[in-house]
Amino acid sequence: MNHFEYIDGVLHAEGVSIPEMADKVGTPFFCYSTATLERHYKVYADAFEGLDATVCFAVKANSNQAVLKTLGNLGAGADVVSVGEMRRALRAGIDPAKIIFSGVGKADAEMREALEADIAQINVESIPELVELNRVAIEMGKKARIALRINPHVDAKTHEKIATGKAENKFGIDWTRAIEVYRDAAAMDGIEVTGIAMHIGSQLTDLTPFREAFTRLAGLVEQLRSEGIHIRNLDLGGGLGIAYQGETPPLPDAYGQMVRETVGHLGCHITLEPGRLIAGNAGIMVSRVMYIKDGEAKRFVILDAAMNDLIRPTLYSAYHEIIPVEEQGEEDVQATVDVVGPVCETGDTFGKDRKLPDDLKAGDLVAVMSAGAYGAVMSSTYNTRALTPEVLVKGNNFAIVRPRQEIDQLINMDQIPAWLGNE
């Protein structure tokens, strides 16, 4: 459920009308709903009631500090994959004791900063990384609390670019080698083994792969215990999918029940890292129609947003619902159109063969739905287009939480070397 609805025929985010925001902010822009973020977080967190669990929001899904603070105020921790994300989480006031550092390759400087900040846990994904972290920790006179990220060799049955738990994926340590790596880790002076971590993929719409992976994980924990290696934190990752196009992913309650059944008996603290589920449907991208182009074979609706603003359709062939901001009547004639951006790439297409009002015209607004996760965070400045602003709504108020970048700000970052004549 989200809080983007038509009120008197005009799309609103909670109590604020989209055209009102568009007038003040310009287009395109990302718009997030506080009520939806809060609701998603609460429904998810409630699914683990009775378990000793911490929900660490996956910052890579949406790293705006206003979003992080909204969730942090409800008790969320953060799962970060770079030192930049860690700084954002800390600045948003998230307790270091609730920050987990994941990711396939952490640089020395990142390890150092994480140890300095005394975050809860660093998830290690390979033996060389473990050796390096040990070295850095010893140098600093510290012990790094770690989990090993284990790759359970489970097919998440999701888009190939966001499946992470198969043998051929770059993520984690093969589960068949886990015991020996844990033995090595336990013998390292700079390492304190605290946990075990998994994240098998994103946008999963079925519980079966999770169940398989967590069952495997529980077996490992028991095996490790019999070897005297005490695992106290289970990090189960994120990955629960959302509805983009009528999918019916399992509800958080069913997921929570499955977690109880597979790992509940181990008596461990549980960390969860949802990203998409919290933020995906809590955000939209608002764009203005620039031109309607009636081609030979097709009608194109050309937006002022492009693939640099929201790359998911281009990158993952992802589906995003696109709706007119002015509500269409039941009787109104619809046209079948391709919705595209102005960037010079055929891939710059938001949707093919979509139904939009036949009388949609230049200047009208449309909303690209489900753009709250992996939207603004993945945007770029391709075609020298400035980064898109982000707006957060709460009730009848809204605030710009990232202003539009000035194009000159962007251009001024280039430096001409002296040999080219740098006046």
Ligand X SMILES: *Cc1c(COP(=O)(O)O)cnc(C)c1O
Closest distance between ligand X and the C-beta of residue 169, in Å?
11
Residues in the chain, how many? 423
- Minimum CB distance to ligand X smaller for 60 or for 88: 60
Paired tokens of 318: 């992802």
Give the span between the Cα atoms of 59 and 81, in whole angstroms.
Answer: 8
Instruction: Say how far apart CA 284 and CA 399 lie, in whole Å.
Output: 15
Determine if residue 274 is labeled as part of a ligand binding site.
yes
Name which of 159 and 299 has its Cβ closer to ligand X: 159
Q: Which is nearer to ligand X, 125 or 309 (CB)?
A: 125
Smallest distance from ligand X to CB 376, Å: 14
What Rg value do the Cα atoms of the chain yield, rounded? Answer: 23
Residue type for 77, please? G
| Residue 261 is labelled as binding a ligand | no
CB 354 within 8 A of CB 337: yes
Cα–Cα distance for residue pair 259/240, rounded to 1 Å: 12
Structure tokens at 141: 């006179």
404 is in an annotated binding site: no
Q: Which residues sit at the interface with ligand X, rule CB under 6 A?
A: 58, 60-61, 79, 102, 199, 202, 237-239, 273-277, 373
To which H or E segment does residue 192 belong? strand 191-197
- Taking the least distance from each CB to ligand X, the nearer of 190 and 274 is 274
312 carries a ligand binding annotation: yes
Q: Which residue has the tokens 């007119």?
A: 324
Beta pairing, strands 365-368 & 283-294: antiparallel
Q: Is 239 annotated as a binding residue?
A: yes
Taking the CA atoms of 129, 134, 139 and 144 in sequence, report the sign of the dihedral they define.
positive
Structure token digits, residue 404: 């539009």
Q: Which residues contact 396 (CB under 8 A, 6 or more apart)?
A: 14, 15, 16
Nearer to ligand X, 58 or 307 (CB): 58
331 annotated as a binding-site residue: no
Cβ proximity to ligand X, 107 vs 411, nearer residue = 107
What minimum distance in Å lies between the beta carbon of 61 and ligand X? 5
219 annotated binding-site participant: no
Distance, CA of 376 to CA of 311 (rounded, Å): 9
- Decide: 154 and 165 in contact? Cβ < 8 Å: yes
Taking the complex as a whole, the smallest distance from the CB of residue 155 to ligand X amounts, in Å, to 16
Active-site entry in 31, 56, 268, 344 = 344
Alpha helices in 59-190 (DSSP H): 65-72, 83-91, 108-117, 127-139, 178-186
User: 65-72 and 83-91 are packed helices; what angle lies between their axes, rounded to 10 degrees?
Assistant: 60
CB of 292 to ligand X, least distance (A): 35
Question: Is 263 in a helix, a strand, or coil?
Answer: helix
Our CB check for ligand X shows the closer of 273 and 338 to be 273
31 is catalytic: no
Rounded Cα–Cα distance for residues 285 and 266 (Å): 43
AA letter at 71: L
| Distance of closest approach, residue 347 Cβ to ligand X, in angstroms | 23
CB of 275: closest distance to ligand X in angstroms? 3
Helix (H, G, I), strand (E, B) or coil at 335: strand
Give the residue numbers of the binding site for substrate. 276, 312, 316, 345, 374
Give the residue numbers of the binding site. 239, 273-276, 312, 316, 345, 374
What is the set of active-site residues?
Answer: 344
Give the residue numbers of the binding site for pyridoxal 5'-phosphate. 239, 273-276, 374
